[in-house]
Amino acid sequence: MEKLPDRKRAEHASLTRVAACLINERLVTSSVTDHSIILSYPLVNDTVCIDLPQPLRFQEAVHASELSGRIAYKQVDVSNGAQLMRIYGAWAKLSHDKIKTVCRELENSVENLERVYLRNWTPTFESPIIDWEQAIIEGHGMHPWHKCRYPMVDDFTTAQIYFVTLPRADMTVVGNYDKYISQLAPIDGTDERDIVFPVHEYQLPNVKEVFPTAKVLSQFITGRPQSSVRTISVANADFCIKVPLAIKITSIVRTIRPWAITIGHRLEPVLQVLEKSAEQFGGSLTVIREYAAAASSSEHLGCIIRQSTESIAAITGDKIIVCAAVTEHIHSIWEDETTESKLDRLRQFCSHLFRAVLPSVMLHGFALQAHMQNLLIRIDPVSREIRGFLVRDLGSFRVHGETFLKTTSLEVDTSWILTREESLESVYRYIHSVIHGNVAAMVRALKLGMPGWRVARRELERIIPAGDDLTYRIWLDNPVCASRAHMSMQLFGVEGKCRTTTIPNRFYHCQQQM
């Protein structure tokens, strides 16, 4: 039976991401010409041929969007990512169970992406903030599991939230948690010795299994999931809730460690330092606060009370949009028609971005996880000029504790190993990979190529203090930068830190290709 167009499109999106990761992570041998890439594997006679519509700019690494041509194995078309993964699994002699698992999740990603395509909805500039959160179609342009929600296939436009109670004495609570929970729903008759947790409808069976004595209350509410799915916007509230969800979203099961539940609230003195750092460089950074939280002993149950984006917009008067949606629907915001106007838009974006997220690194050795889903842009609703940025999700920062303590006299809880960097250079390399990805997404959205990267480099040069050799060496003078190895982490696991590969550093190469 002939596949529907949206199904073919979703399968191709998966296929090109898998192919790009195999190449970039050096999991296969790649032989590149102006017209094709031949993928092979040691001691295997078979090859996969990828037709190129145009020559690659960098042969060392490709973007999935560059692989729009035919992909064939033994002269037969390869139509989806799972099919290519099975070919690679046979080449590399990976276990049948491992390949079965990753292919099942690739197929889940395709099914969810097809549903998004079928929805066929585009936001307008005036659309509510939550509509923009739900307007992300493609998501991460290089992640093979970009729409994986395993085992669910759903639109994720609404979510029912239930409530359970457990003894308060067994929980860790920070902030005025009860005050916010009482605003979610009229919950009567609960014992003050108990604590109330909101639970996502898909998570309720897991909570019952882990906490068999939990009492499920009769009340429930309906909310709207944000782009992360597990953060829920609720009507008529100046806060949203983030709750664990044992669904594999992209490549991670989205339960939440007890440490991560409470760390955002406990970081308040640190967040003030980060915002003041941006001010010192002429930037505007707002870190979205986590007002309160309650953690259980299990990563399956907990709740973070987070300041809502809507409440911030009501105060500032800004239009606030998650950046991952900005790059997918850029023409709904700006109708730039000339190359010069697009370059000026990129210049604004980079100037504000760098002055918001880089000062805390250069001054204190502290980096927020400011990727495009955690980063929100503030736009003047009339002129549509960029005013600054907001950052959310405080559980995945990177810090060189010794530097931060020396410059601020503050200690940071780095109990989770991923947050702790042993050298200042590691923090610089981390944030470099983040901003490189952010700028790359914006350059592609505006279709600016290397001229766009030259604009970005000039803006980066402007904020680096004179004589700062470390910053220049890592951000501007290094031919490569780190990038997450999504495929390798799924196939071979993670020990401690995330697996990475290297890709060309466009901040460097834009000067070499004049």
Q: pLDDT tens for residues 156-177?
A: 999 999 999 999 999 999 999 9
Question: pTM value?
Answer: 0.96
Banded model confidence at residue 59, pLDDT cuts 50, 70, 90: confident
Q: Which residues contact 429 (CB under 8 A, 6 or more apart)?
A: 474, 481, 482
247 φ, ψ (degrees, to nearest 5): -120, 140
Domains and CATH numbers, the chain: 5-119 (3.30.310.280), 158-273+288-314 (no CATH), 317-512 (1.10.510.40)
Q: Is 476 exposed, middle or buried (0-12, 13-18, 19+ CB in 10 A)?
A: middle
Backbone angles phi, psi at 157, to 5 degrees: -95, -20
172 forms beta bridges with 295
How far apart, in whole angstroms, are the C-alpha atoms of residue 422 and residue 402? Answer: 9
pLDDT on residue 513? 63
The helix/strand/coil state of 168 is: helix
CA atoms within 13 A on the CB side of 252: 11
Q: What is the mean pLDDT of the chain?
A: 96
Q: What spatial distance separates the first Cα and last Cα of the chain, rounded to whole Å?
A: 50
Is residue 495 pLDDT above 70, yes or no? no
Helix (H, G, I), strand (E, B) or coil at 40: strand
The pLDDT score that the predictor gives to residue 514 is 57
What amino acid is encoded at 406 in this protein? K
Residue 123: left if φ>0, alpha if ψ -120 to 50, beta else—which one? beta
Res 498: pLDDT: 84
Tokens (6 digits) for 187: 């919950």
Work out the angle at residue 509's Cα, subtended by the Cα atoms of residues 504 and 513, and round it to the nearest 5 degrees: 135
Pairing of strands 215-225, 172-174: unpaired
Read off the pLDDT of residues 421-466 as tens digits, 9 standing for 90 and up.
999 999 999 999 999 999 999 999 999 999 999 999 999 999 999 9
Given a cut of 90, whether residue 470 has pLDDT beyond it is yes
373-383: pLDDT as tens digits: 999 999 999 99
pLDDT higher than 60, residue 71: yes
- The pLDDT tens digits of the residues spanning 123-156 come to 999 999 999 999 999 999 999 999 999 999 999 9
Q: Are 365 and 400 in contact (CB under 8 A)?
A: yes
For the residues 456-479, what does the mean pLDDT come to?
96
Over residues 293-313, the mean pLDDT reads: 98
Closest residue by Cα to residue 261 from 343, 177, 169, 319 = 177
Q: Give the separation between CA 47 and CA 356, rounded to whole angstroms.
A: 46
Over range 230-244, report the average pLDDT. 95
Beta bridge partners of 31: 38
Widest CA span in the chain = 71
From the list 167, 223, 168, 227, the residue with the least C-alpha distance to 198 is 223
Local structure of 251: helix, strand or coil: coil
